[in-house]
C-alpha cells in the first residue's frame, strides 16, 4: 500500500519542444499580445451549471455559429445532434482557429474530441493536404474511436483518416502513410517505429497539427522516447494541442515551458467528476467480492442500467471473472492487454453494439472510451492511483447523462478509498444492499452449483463461500 501512495517523480525534459516556438498569429480574429500573461480562463460559476452538458445554462451562452467555424462544420454538428457547444468547445475552438497552442483540461465526456477535431478539419478544408494532422493517444481502442469521430465530423470532406496502432500489420500501415492521409491517429510506440523509416518521416514534414489526447498519460516518462521521435519529424511551426482530463506536474511544467504562449483552459468547478455521476461504495470481506459483484449485476435491470464496465487490476482477474460470469449466463466482453488486437476490437464491438451488456476490463479501458449506454462502472479492484479512478468513472455519466459508480472496498482498501475521495473532493454514499439478500440470492442460483464443477486454476473465493456460507 505504501508503494501505492508514493508520489510520482517523473520530470519533464526541459528540452521537449512540446509547444511550437512561434505560434501562428490569428487569421480569423484579431487577438491578444503574445507577451501577455497566459489567459487562465475564469471558472464560470453559474449555479447548477454542468460544464460538460451542452444544454446547461452556461453552455447556452455560446452557439456553434459564434466560434468561427465554417458553414459545413456547423451543418455537420447539427446533423450529429450537437445543438450547442460544450464549455471546452466554446473556449478552445476559437483559440485553435486563431493559431494558438492549447492545453485543455476538462472532465472526461465533456466533448474534448470535437474541441480539437472541428478546428483541425476547418483548417484542413481551407488547404487540404496530407498529412495535415497527427493525433497521438495512449491506447489502440481510443485511436479507433477517435478515427470514427474524425470521420463523422469530416464526412462531407471526403476525409482520409488512417489509424496506425500496434498489433496490426506494419507494412500495410507504412503503405497507408505513403498514401498521405489527411489525418493520422496513432499510438506512440507504432508511430515511432514508422517515423524511423526514412521513407515515411518526410510525409510528416508539413504537418500543421500535433494533438496529444490523454496528454497526462502520454507525457508520462514511459513515452518520452516515442514523443522525441515524433517531435523531430514534425515542423516547428505546427500547432500543438494537448487535452487531458487530469492535471499532472508534468503538464504544469510544460505549460510553464510554453513561455505563456499556449492557451490554458481548465474547466473544473471544484470537483473532478461530474454532478450527474452518483458515486457509491460497498464494503465486504475480500474473499467474497465476487458474491457482491454478482449481486450488483443482478440489480442492473431493476436499476434501469443498460450496460456496465467492471474494472479489475490484473489480466488474470479479467479471465477469472469472465469464466465465472459466463457460468452465470452473463456472456461478458473482456478488454485487457494480453488479448490479441483483433480479439480486443471484436470484444469492444460486442460491448458497443449491445450484444454484451457487461465489459470486464483492466485500466486499458479507463480512458476516453465513449460508449453512451454505459450507466454503471464497478471498481471491482480499486485503482492504485486515485487519478485512474477519475478516468474509470468517466466512462459513465458522459455528455450530461446520469451514471452510477460503485467501488468494492475490502478490508485493506480503506486508505486508498480515502485518497480517492480526497482526489474527487466528495464523500461517497453506501450502495444500498441487504446482506441477507446478497447471500440468499446466491444460494438460490442453480448455476452456481454448476460453477462449482469448474476446474479453476485460481481458487475462487466464491466457490469456497458456497461450500461454507456460515463463515461469511
Ligand atoms: P468526448 O469527451 O469527446 O469523448 O465526447 C463525449 C460525448 O459527447 C461524445 O459522444 C460526443 O459525441 C458528445 N458531444 C460532444 N460535443 C457535444 C455537443 N456539443 N453536444 C452534444 N453532444 C456532444
Q: Is 141 contained in some domain?
A: yes
* CA separation for the pair 181, 215 (Å, rounded): 23
Among 79, 87, 114, 118, the mutation site with the greatest number of ligand 1 atoms within 8 A of its Cβ is: 114
Q: Are residues 51 and 161 in the same domain?
A: yes
Ligand 1 centroid to Cα of residue 113, in Å, is 7
The reply to whether ligand 1 has any atom less than 6 angstroms from the CB of 69 is no
Cell of 253: 511544467
Cell of 353: 453494439
Q: Are residues 192 and 313 in the same domain?
A: no
Structural domain containing residue 319: 277-466
Q: Is 22 contained in some domain?
A: no
Q: Are residues 240 and 359 in the same domain?
A: no
DSSP string computed for 188-223: HHHHHHHHTSTTTGGGGTT--EEEEETHHHHTSGGG
Q: What is the pLDDT of residue 317?
A: 94
Give the residue ranges of the chain where pLDDT is below 50: 1-15, 21-52, 54-60, 445-472
Q: Is 16 contained in some domain?
A: no
Q: Is 19 contained in some domain?
A: no
Domain CATH code at residue 98? 3.40.50.300
Would you call 413 helix, strand, or coil by DSSP?
A: coil
Of 266, 285, 319, which one is at a domain's C-terminal end?
266
The reply to whether ligand 1 has any atom less than 6 angstroms from the CB of 400 is no
* CA separation for the pair 51, 44 (Å, rounded): 9
* CA separation for the pair 172, 186 (Å, rounded): 14
pLDDT digits (tens, 9 = 90+) for 309-348: 999 999 999 999 999 999 888 899 999 999 998 999 999 9
Ligand 1 centroid to Cα of residue 44, in Å, is 20
Q: What is the pLDDT of residue 269?
A: 57
Q: Is 94 contained in some domain?
A: yes
Of 266, 297, 329, which one is at a domain's C-terminal end?
266
Q: What is the pLDDT of residue 32?
A: 34
Q: Are residues 353 and 397 in the same domain?
A: yes
The reply to whether ligand 1 has any atom less than 6 angstroms from the CB of 119 is no
Q: What residue owns the CA closest to ligand 1's atom 4?
A: 109
Q: What residue owns the CA closest to ligand 1's atom 19?
A: 85
Residue 277: half-sphere exposure toward Cβ, Cα within 13 Å: 32
Q: Are residues 306 and 162 in the same domain?
A: no
Q: What residue owns the CA closest to ligand 1's atom 15?
A: 111
**Number of domains into which the chain is organized:** 2
Q: What residue owns the CA closest to ligand 1's atom 21?
A: 82
Q: Is 382 contained in some domain?
A: yes
> Which ligand 1 atom is at minimum distance from the Cα of 109?
2
Q: Is 11 contained in some domain?
A: no
Q: Are residues 336 and 412 in the same domain?
A: yes
Q: Are residues 218 and 289 in the same domain?
A: no
Q: Are residues 78 and 116 in the same domain?
A: yes
Q: Is 51 contained in some domain?
A: yes
The reply to whether ligand 1 has any atom less than 6 angstroms from the CB of 54 is yes
The reply to whether ligand 1 has any atom less than 6 angstroms from the CB of 370 is yes
Q: Are residues 238 and 293 in the same domain?
A: no
Q: What is the pLDDT of residue 440?
A: 67
The reply to whether ligand 1 has any atom less than 6 angstroms from the CB of 86 is yes
The reply to whether ligand 1 has any atom less than 6 angstroms from the CB of 379 is no
The reply to whether ligand 1 has any atom less than 6 angstroms from the CB of 214 is no
Among 111, 396, 403, the mutation site with the greatest number of ligand 1 atoms within 8 A of its Cβ is: 111
* CA separation for the pair 66, 29 (Å, rounded): 12
Q: Are residues 255 and 333 in the same domain?
A: no
Phi, psi at 17, each rounded to 5°: -85, 55
* CA separation for the pair 47, 61 (Å, rounded): 14
Q: What is the pLDDT of residue 434?
A: 79
* CA separation for the pair 212, 368 (Å, rounded): 13
Of 266, 285, 309, which one is at a domain's C-terminal end?
266
Ligand 1 centroid to Cα of residue 263, in Å, is 22
Q: Are residues 204 and 322 in the same domain?
A: no
Q: Are residues 50 and 99 in the same domain?
A: yes
| Range 415-423 contact pairs with CB under 8 angstroms and sequence separation of 24 or more | 415/1, 415/5, 416/1, 416/4, 416/382, 416/384, 416/386, 417/281, 417/382, 419/5, 419/386, 420/382, 420/383, 420/386, 420/389, 422/386, 423/272, 423/386, 423/387, 423/389, 423/390
Amino acid at each position: 500500500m505504501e508503494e501505492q501512495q508514493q508520489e510520482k517523480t517523473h520530470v519533464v525534459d526541459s528540452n521537449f519542444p512540446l509547444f511550437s516556438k512561434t505560434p501562428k498569429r490569428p487569421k480569423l480574429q484579431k487577438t491578444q499580445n503574445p507577451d501577455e500573461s497566459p489567459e487562465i480562463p475564469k471558472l464560470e460559476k453559474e449555479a447548477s451549471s454542468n460544464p460538460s452538458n451542452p444544454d446547461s445554462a452556461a453552455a447556452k451562452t455560446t452557439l456553434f455559429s459564434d466560434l468561427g467555424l465554417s458553414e459545413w462544420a456547423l451543418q455537420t454538428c447539427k446533423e450529429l445532434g450537437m445543438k450547442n457547444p460544450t464549455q471546452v468547445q466554446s473556449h478552445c475552438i476559437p483559440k485553435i482557429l486563431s493559431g494558438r497552442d492549447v492545453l485543455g483540461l476538462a472532465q472526461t465526456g465533456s466533448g474534448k474530441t470535437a474541441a480539437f477535431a472541428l478546428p483541425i478539419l476547418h483548417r484542413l478544408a481551407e488547404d487540404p493536404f496530407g498529412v495535415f494532422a497527427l493525433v497521438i493517444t495512449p491506447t489502440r481502442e481510443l485511436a479507433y474511436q477517435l478515427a470514427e469521430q474524425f470521420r463523422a465530423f469530416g464526412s462531407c470532406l471526403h476525409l482520409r483518416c488512417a489509424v496506425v496502432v500496434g498489433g496490426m500489420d506494419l507494412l500495410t500501415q507504412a503503405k497507408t502513410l505513403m498514401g498521405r492521409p489527411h489525418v493520422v491517429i496513432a499510438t506512440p510506440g507504432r508511430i515511432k517505429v514508422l517515423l524511423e523509416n526514412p521513407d515515411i518521416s518526410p510525409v510528416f514534414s508539413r504537418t500543421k497539427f500535433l494533438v496529444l489526447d490523454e496528454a497526462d498519460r502520454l507525457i508520462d516518462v514511459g513515452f518520452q522516447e516515442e514523443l522525441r521521435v515524433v517531435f523531430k519529424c514534425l515542423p516547428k511551426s505546427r500547432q500543438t494541442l494537448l487535452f487531458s482530463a487530469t492535471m499532472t506536474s508534468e503538464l504544469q511544467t510544460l505549460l510553464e515551458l510554453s513561455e505563456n504562449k499556449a492557451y490554458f483552459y481548465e474547466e473544473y468547478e471544484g470537483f473532478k467528476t461530474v454532478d450527474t455521476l452518483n458515486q457509491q461504495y460497498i464494503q465486504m470481506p475480500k474473499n467474497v467480492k465476487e458474491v457482491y459483484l454478482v449481486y450488483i449485476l443482478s440489480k442492473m435491470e431493476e436499476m434501469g442500467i443498460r450496460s456496465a464496465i467492471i474494472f479489475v487490476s490484473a489480466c488474470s482477474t479479467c479471465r477469472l471473472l469472465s469464466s465465472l460470469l459466463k457460468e452465470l449466463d452473463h456472456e461478458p466482453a473482456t478488454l485487457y492487454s494480453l488479448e490479441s488486437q483483433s480479439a480486443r476490437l471484436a470484444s469492444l464491438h460486442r460491448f458497443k453494439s449491445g450484444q454484451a451488456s457487461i465489459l470486464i476490463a483492466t485500466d486499458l479501458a479507463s480512458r476516453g472510451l465513449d460508449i453512451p449506454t454505459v450507466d454503471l462502472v464497478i471498481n471491482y479492484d480499486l485503482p492504485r492511483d486515485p487519478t485512474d479512478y477519475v478516468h474509470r468513472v468517466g466512462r459513465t455519466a458522459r455528455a450530461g447523462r446520469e451514471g452510477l459508480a460503485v467501488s468494492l472496498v475490502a478490508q485493506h482498501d480503506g486508505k486508498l478509498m480515502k485518497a480517492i475521495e480526497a482526489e474527487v473532493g466528495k464523500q461517497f454514499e453506501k450502495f444500498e444492499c441487504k446482506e441477507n439478500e446478497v447471500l440468499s440470492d446466491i444460494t438460490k442460483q442453480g448455476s452456481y452449483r454448476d460453477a462449482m464443477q469448474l476446474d479453476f486454476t485460481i481458487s475462487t473465493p466464491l466457490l469456497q463461500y458456497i461450500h461454507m456460507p456460515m463463515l461469511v
